[in-house]
Amino acid sequence: MAAKRKFAVWGLLLALLIVAGCGDADRTEVSKQSVTVVDGDTIKVKMKKKEETVRLLLVDTPETNHPEIGKQPLGDEAKAFAKKLINEAKKIELEKEETKRDKYGRFLAYVLVDGKLLQEELVKEGFARIAYVDQPDAKYLDELKKAEQEAQRKKVGIWQWDDYTKKDGFKVESLEKEGNIFVASKNGDVYHPIGCHVVKDIKPENLIYFYSEQDAMKTNRHRSEVKECWNSYK
């Protein structure tokens, strides 16, 4: 009888450990001061005197300064949104999945700000798409799918342009005929339609996107004198 009772106690302890493993056991709280936002889907976190690059699981945001791709529309906005949520949060947590690192050595994690999933907030606002899904039963995938469907329905952010967001990333070239996107250099006093050939000469780190001509004009810039780029505009 004593042996049976002892076995039952061990069984109960094992069950509790399993349940605990399914809860918040894999979450690590980090201080706000230890976090630096690199772009919408990447942050750096100082952990145990070492700085880790943390890639947000299951999402992809437009680039801000990629060595090959350069800067993409809404990249800066996605970064600013992620930074705002992190800066305003009282509690920041990292939650890992089974795969801890990607092929670049970056730590993979869900990021929670005051209990809200940062990935889901980015998707809701149209700053991120679902991507890099290695596990079809990933923990937060269903929530992200619902958020993405709603963002697509509302045509917000990356979804306001029909061909910008694809399964393999964001296609800036698909926006060249869009009439509401303009580009300027940080150091310049003029702006161009996104399809203008001179845009390719602007360094990615100096590139600024505007999503209406009024927004471009508010910065005290004026239309460039590259006439052929303005033929379809009044």
Q: How many other CB atoms are found less than 10 A from the CB of residue 101? A: 13
Q: How far apart are CA 94 and CA 26, in angstroms?
A: 8
Task: Say whether 106 is catalytic.
Answer: yes
Q: How far apart are CA 192 and CA 178, in angstroms?
A: 12
Task: Say whether 93 is catalytic.
Answer: no
From the list 27, 29, 52, 63, the catalytic residue is: 63
Q: How far apart are CA 155 and CA 169, in angstroms?
A: 17
From the list 97, 106, 213, 223, the catalytic residue is: 106
Q: How far apart are CA 132 and CA 42, in angstroms?
A: 14
Task: Say whether 121 is catalytic.
Answer: no
Residue with tokens 């890992």: 96
Query: Amino acid letter at 194?
Result: I
CB-neighbour burial class of residue 111 (10 A; exposed 0-12, middle 13-18, buried 19+): buried
Radius of gyration of the chain (CA): 23
Q: How far apart are CA 72 and CA 158, in angstroms?
A: 10
Q: How far apart are CA 119 and CA 27, in angstroms?
A: 15
Q: How far apart are CA 79 and CA 61, in angstroms?
A: 9
Phi, then psi, of 31 in degrees rounded to 5? -80, 150
Encoding tokens for residue 136? 């079809």
Active site residues: 55, 63, 106
